[in-house]
Structure 1
């Protein structure tokens, strides 16, 4: 399977298309089935609101789709969405931004907002244009079909974060805020994260309650320190910290938990679960 395609366009511009890496495993590779699956997770007749940031899970849809669907049903999806993802593969630059072109899913192609990419890489020297960190990473990819479902016109910016320091994350969050306020004031920032991994239901609930509490308090420093000190295996801690900093810089005042579940609520296995939270920041 190739994960990146190059197409000439009038011999003037090379169009890079990032091919889906986990279609057929994390979610259906059949467009009709994928559309139907998403519709099964959507909450009908929900009051939608514009928000600045969210935390959304990134497991296979059979496990975390209900939480993600509930979350996306509650918000207005604007024409630019910035997706912050952790790096599960270890490939690529530590702070990696996909440079341009499009990302493909079974629902079609989504265009990269290259204006934001260029402005952000000029403003933030930490960010490096890079593809290696993205090619096999699932955490950003699984957000995109939900974005397409609710706003097919949306363009995206995709950043993969492997933190060297919390100060770097804060710096990126502040620079992202400045660029969005200048260019895309209504943009949404999605922090892609699952919560506690492979512990009992009771342990996951206890640890995740602590981490979620710090997100709801919008205290990125306490979130970061407690996740580290208490060994809370929240894989998207770096995206979450960056999103919180960015959202607060953009004027966010409060956060709300939309839904929390574990894989045990789906499978019935409560001995080894993964937690999933959908959180709104506005």
Structure 2
């Protein structure tokens, strides 16, 4: 059994279980009180994905809590994250076992992970892309608290390529696996993208660059997103995973409208009060209808 141990517990978030649960519950409660976090019944049925930031909880927890508030998680969540370490393969799929957090293990959906690796040569069973990567790990305690006693399984995918043709083809293959998962579970699985926005520029520059990337993201336009971040020099680390999600959703339901709504957007300056070197955090809900 592949058991992925926490890499950043005690640094990006507390490693004390009771404190971690209380912290996550507090962020979710704060988020649920925000009008922007409300989720209409019709939108709940059309929810296909989320984008959440992955900084330390003290910085990103408000955005994560607001975006996850009122969301009912399905049995299986496909987690798409960027590759910050350079380790592993272009599309690294954690194949089986579980991911350990201070709140307990989160089982991997081994069946869907296997199907994904069989579906496309670009997806490969590979743990090296994940062992030191933090961008899925920091989100798991939020998913565990949101799921409560309901079953929760994940398919972790670390995206180490930003090439549009590769991502487009991979999205088509991912769409087939998403459909297999829907048929098996009787409910649509969720795509969860882990991404921060622009990094380490001043507040004004970061907000301007974030807005440019978000404009493409809100349209669900993968091609425009990749072009925009490259042309404008936007250091959005999860642009490729988000593009992969958009490609997959469009291939999964050809002709359906793919759109996103912005739940919350802020920068690290809200906590650090440093406006010269900030990181942007945005929470998106992605709908397919």
Q: Same fold (TM over 0.5)?
A: yes
Q: What's 1:154 paired with?
A: 152
Alignment of 1:88-237 (within 5 A): 88-152=84-148, 153-163=151-161, 165-184=163-182, 185-237=187-239
Distance 2:252 2:72 in 1: 17
Aligned residue pairs: how many?
268
Q: What's 1:241 paired with?
A: 243
Q: What's 1:25 paired with?
A: 11
Contact 1:53-1:244 within 8 A present in 2 as well:
no
Distance 1:141 1:105 in 2: 8
Contact 2:162-2:240 within 8 A present in 1 as well:
no
Distance 2:162 2:225 in 1: 17
CA deviations over 1:195-254 (Å, ceiling 9, x no partner): 000001100000000100100011111110010011000001110100111223334532
Distance 1:215 1:47 in 2: 20
TM-score w.r.t. length of structure 1: 0.92
What stretches of structure 1 of length at least 5 have no aligned partner? 1-14
Contact 1:220-1:245 within 8 A present in 2 as well:
yes
Distance 1:215 1:76 in 2: 23
Task: Provide closer, same or farther for how the CA distance between residues 245 and 74 of structure 1 changes in structure 2, counting only shifts above 3 A.
Answer: farther
Distance 2:92 2:226 in 1: 21
What stretches of structure 2 of length at least 5 have no aligned partner? none
Matched, 1:272 2:274: no
CA deviations over 1:136-195 (Å, ceiling 9, x no partner): 100111111111111142100000011162111111122111111122351111111000
Matched, 1:83 2:79: yes
Distance 1:277 1:159 in 2: 20
Distance 1:183 1:195 in 2: 30
Distance 1:164 1:276 in 2: 20
Q: What's 2:268 paired with?
A: 263
TM-score w.r.t. length of structure 2: 0.89
Contact 2:32-2:70 within 8 A present in 1 as well:
no
* Higher alpha-carbon deviation: 155-164 or 250-259: 250-259
Task: Give the structure with the higher percent helix.
Answer: 2
Contact 2:161-2:240 within 8 A present in 1 as well:
yes
Q: What RMSD over aligned residues (CA atoms) do the two structures have, in Å?
A: 1.4
Distance 1:74 1:209 in 2: 25
CA deviations over 1:33-75 (Å, ceiling 9, x no partner): 1111111211346645251111110000000110011111142
SS at match of 1:257: strand
Contact 1:25-1:60 within 8 A present in 2 as well:
yes
Contact 1:259-1:278 within 8 A present in 2 as well:
yes
